[in-house]
Amino acid sequence: MILQNKLFLCVLIFCAKLFSQENNKDVCVAILNSNNSYEQVQRSIDSITQLRELSITDESYIYHSYAKFLFNNNKRNESYKYLYKAIELREKNQENDLISLKQSLCNLGLYYGRSGKLYKSINVFKELIDLPNEDRLRMKAYSELISLYSKIGDFEKSTNLFEKTTNYHIENKDYKSLYKNYMRISKVYALKGYKLNSKKIIYYLNKTDSLGRFTEIDKKDEAIINLRLGIVYEEINQKEKALEYYNKALVNNEALKDSVSISMINNNIGDLYLYDSSLEKAIESLQKSLLFAGDDIKSKSLTYSTFGAYYSGIKDFKEAKLYFEKAIQLLVFDNETDMYVNPTVDELTLKPNKLRLFDFIHQKASYWKGRFDNEKQNEFLNNALIDYKLADQLLDVIRFDSTEKTSKLFWREKGASLYMKAVEVCYLLNDMESAYFFMEKNKALLLLEELSDQQAKVLSNLPQQLIERDFALKQKIIETEEATTSNKTDILFELKRSYEQFKDSLATNYPAYSKLKKSLPVLNLQNHKTNFINKDSATLQYIINDTQAYGLAITKESTTLYHINDGVILQNEIGELTTQLQHPFNTQTEVAAYVKNSNSIFEKLIPNSILEKLKRKKITIAADGIIQNIPFEALISDIENQNSYLIKYNEINYVYSFSYLLFNSKKIRNPEHTFLGLAPERFKDKSLAVLPNSIYEVTSINSIFSDKTFVKEEATKLNFKTNFENYKIVHLATHSGSSNTEKPWLAFSDDKVNLNEIYATQNQADLVVLSACKTSQGELKTGEGVMSLARGFFFSGTNSVVSTLWNINDKTTQEIMYSFYTNIKDGQTKSKALHESKLAYLSSNEGSMASPFYWSSFVLIGDAGIVPIDDKLNLPILLLLFVIVLIVLGVAFKKRRKK
């Protein structure tokens, strides 16, 4: 036998020498297709590549083909080595044979992806995309990236790539690739949540099926379609339909003899029966799932997790714990042992299955909480808290891996559910420190990330031209998103790709920057007390969802975490309050209804035990969810006194989060000028009403500061964008709007500027006042906050914003604002200045005119300190003084001469 193999090799080599270069490839194919052992094939390949007459084309072909042979024979590390050899040779020859280089890169990307090396796979495909020509292999790379980005949680990138590749496949009538694309995007939406995205998943799976008229759908893909439809219908509670599709998927995979897929389907059927309380059927399906899983880690770990849920449901907590731990251990360490140790975040970071690991750890934390509910032992709460903190750390890693804004917002929403559960555990443990941490993590984290990124650029000594390049690229992306050009999708795609390449180069060339920007400066409780608490001040922090709410009151004397009862009722009351506040009270019946509802909200948000601690203190509030829609100063504190507004007893201001407040207040701002006011009176958009009082509002305020104003036709979008970067105070008296169908916007005489455009600006303002309607309103993003105009100005650099919660009255606004700025000029803090101006309005008005509608819409968000105003005399006054001095000196000189 050995002699035969040697003879076979000699003949091959002889033939390779004897015939043309084309035959070297044939020899390679013959070797790889022979029945020889791996070692014999390796020796044959090594021998043939040592022949001197091999061209670069032949040698690279042999390495490329041999790498494929190795990968298919589970010699993955060896396959990478030979594929890199092929790539190195083909890079030298790319001018003559670019397509071969792309083929090798494509294979390397595929091999890394199938081995779970997701980030390496992404980088290889990005390298392929950077090569010239938009061809089939570039589209293949884009298509693979759809799946890869979704696996690391960057769903928006996947969606962008889907649009790009789908258009290409439609134009080229490549129906096979097109249906594969529909399969990929259905998976992206599935990962974002089957229930939430059920309509989109069904839509794309049906489109896949419809393409069967033009191309054959793979049997494997038919099985996947049926499986996904089964999961969708289970999630939307159509159990019979779900079971129908699961059984179809089982038939598909039994025909394919795909035991791993059979395992996963049985797991899903078990899960369906579990939540339908058919426990015997559930356990039968789960046992089948485990049997068919074999050594496959993903399907086995998923089944273990479902077993954990099963045993939790029947309150066999020891078995449940065992299975939850097995699920995590198998995904992290690829093995099962009797001794379970929680993985570290570093160990989790290295794993490709982070999304599933997050779900498993979150599930295990919920298990500990459920066990506490049953057995009332605090050790279970402590274990739950450990797991919630680990899940939070993993969530940070996933979010940082996502570079698209919408992907980050998706993970913020995921975090909100975790943070509420964690705060509940902290409440039961009376753990104030951890509760504070989770409440802070639940607010404005993406704003904090942006600020941290800016600071990291400075601290890592990033060259100024690169900082400017970063901003210019982001600005261009935002401008393109707002454009209406026909080829907008392609332009936007290329811009985002350029920006990603730029960010990758920064991470490579400036590792200190890459490390610093991930160090989010989230405050701890002690730092909070040091920076924000004294004998005259207090803070209130809230977290709320559809059914639960908690408050955290911090004073010099105490820290109190309290549960807010009747969360559902509170939501309804706040909804009613926001309606009541949007018009003046015209009857005593309206007043009585407001007093009753407002006081009920007040007693939930600030119960008597907390109110006692807050008396006569300045209160800074970090609201959450729907609570962000109410002005606390307008709440009635005493049901027996219809005028007992909280503003009469406490000075109040608001923050997005205390971590953001502290970090943002330390930002260096050096504007050259003091005050900029803009007040359009009439608008090019004739649907906007004339604002007759806006000009007087701005000019009267400017009489305090004697600086710059643009009024009437001069209050243009361009004058706003080109001037507001260099002013300490910016006051905008205009129209604004926000709805479910359009982004928040501000109107200028000639055009509107929307929220995205504000994101694309930079400013150094200590204070921006948005004297327009509903400038604190916008889309509420769970776990992050309201996407309002006010937030946009913070994003672009502002230290504090005065904004509005509802439509404001033109005339009373003018009165309150003039008083506010007079107080600012007199050296009062921003918070005190607004507080006093509202009280002054209340004291000089009564009846309907004293309704909260008129005075409580304006809220101060952010830094509440003083605005440092440089006292400067304006030119006319200086000239007048100069003339007076000259006259006095002249008179004195004449008198002296007469003497």
- Is 456 contained in some domain? no
Phi-psi region of 825 (alpha: psi -120 to 50; beta: other; left: phi over 0): alpha
Same domain (yes/no): 869, 732: yes
pLDDT of 7 over the 50 cut: no
Q: What is the mean pLDDT of residues 281-294?
A: 95
Same domain (yes/no): 759, 700: yes
Domain edge (last residue) among 594, 627, 654: 654
Domain edge (last residue) among 626, 654, 682: 654
Q: How far is CA 528 from the centre of its chain?
A: 25
Distances (CA, A) of 290 to 266, 272, 312, 324: 9, 16, 18, 14
Residue 798 has a pLDDT of: 95
Query: b/e string for 383-401 if b means 16 or more Cβ within 10 A?
Result: bbbebbbbbbebbbbbbbb
pLDDT of 6 over the 60 cut: no
Q: Residues of the chain with pLDDT > 70: what percent?
A: 93
Are residues 799 and 728 in contact, defined by beta-carbon separation less than 8 angstroms?
Answer: no
The helix/strand/coil state of 322 is: helix
Domain edge (last residue) among 602, 626, 654: 654
Residue 21 has a pLDDT of: 47
Q: Which residues contact 668 (CB under 8 A, 6 or more apart)?
A: none
Residue 17 has a pLDDT of: 47
Task: Name which residue leads in pLDDT, 70 or 782.
Answer: 70
Confidence at 166, pLDDT banded by 50, 70, 90: very high
Same domain (yes/no): 690, 646: no
Identify the sign of the CA torsion 509, 511, 514, 517: negative
Same domain (yes/no): 809, 838: yes
Residue 899 has a pLDDT of: 52
Same domain (yes/no): 778, 861: yes
- Is 733 contained in some domain? yes
Q: What is the mean pLDDT of residues 329-347?
A: 87
- Is 378 contained in some domain? no
pLDDT of 784 over the 90 cut: no
Report the CATH number at residue 764. 3.40.50.1460
Q: Is 893 exposed, middle or buried (0-12, 13-18, 19+ CB in 10 A)?
A: exposed
Confidence at 68, pLDDT banded by 50, 70, 90: very high
The tens digit of pLDDT for each residue in 318-327 reads 999 999 999 9
- Is 696 contained in some domain? yes
- Is 486 contained in some domain? no
Are residues 564 and 551 in contact, defined by beta-carbon separation less than 8 angstroms?
Answer: yes
Q: Residues of the chain with pLDDT > 90: what percent?
A: 63
Q: What is the mean pLDDT of residues 546-555?
A: 96
The helix/strand/coil state of 891 is: helix
- Is 229 contained in some domain? no
Same domain (yes/no): 549, 615: yes
Residue 801 has a pLDDT of: 96
The tens digit of pLDDT for each residue in 214-253 reads 999 999 999 999 999 999 999 999 999 999 999 999 999 9
Q: What is the mean pLDDT of residues 516-544?
A: 93
Q: Which residues contact 267 (CB under 8 A, 6 or more apart)?
A: 285, 286, 289, 299, 302, 303, 306
In whole numbers, what is the pLDDT of the chain averaged over residues?
89
Q: What is the mean pLDDT of residues 757-765?
A: 90
Are residues 392 and 415 in contact, defined by beta-carbon separation less than 8 angstroms?
Answer: yes
Confidence at 120, pLDDT banded by 50, 70, 90: very high
Same domain (yes/no): 649, 775: no
- Is 134 contained in some domain? no
Report the CATH number at residue 648. 3.30.420
Are residues 789 and 755 in contact, defined by beta-carbon separation less than 8 angstroms?
Answer: yes
Radius of gyration of the chain (CA): 33
pLDDT of 308 over the 60 cut: yes
Q: Which residues contact 410 (CB under 8 A, 6 or more apart)?
A: 153, 155, 192, 402
Least confident stretch, 463-472, 620-629, 701-710, 823-832: 463-472
pLDDT of 118 over the 60 cut: yes
The two tokens of residue 177 are 């690739």
pLDDT of 650 over the 80 cut: yes
Same domain (yes/no): 624, 690: no
Residue 83 has a pLDDT of: 95
The helix/strand/coil state of 771 is: strand
The 3-state secondary structure of 606-662 reads CCHHHHHHHCCCEEEEECCHHHHHCCHHHCECCCCCCCCEHHHCCCEEECCCHHHHH
Confidence at 3, pLDDT banded by 50, 70, 90: very low
Confidence at 29, pLDDT banded by 50, 70, 90: confident
Q: Taking the CB of residue 822, how many other CB atoms lie within 10 A of it?
A: 17
Residue 434 has a pLDDT of: 98
The two tokens of residue 700 are 């009267």
pLDDT of 889 over the 80 cut: no
Task: Name which residue leads in pLDDT, 484 or 817.
Answer: 817
Q: What is the mean pLDDT of residues 868-892?
A: 65
Same domain (yes/no): 561, 683: no
Are residues 772 and 734 in contact, defined by beta-carbon separation less than 8 angstroms?
Answer: yes
Give me the domain span that covers residue 649. 525-654
Same domain (yes/no): 602, 739: no
Residue 759 has a pLDDT of: 86
Structural domains in the chain (count): 2
Residue 20 has a pLDDT of: 45
Same domain (yes/no): 628, 691: no
Residue 457 has a pLDDT of: 82
Same domain (yes/no): 783, 712: yes
Residue 881 has a pLDDT of: 63
Q: DSSP character for 778? A: E
Residue 296 has a pLDDT of: 92
Counted residue by residue, the chain has a size of: 899
- Is 600 contained in some domain? yes
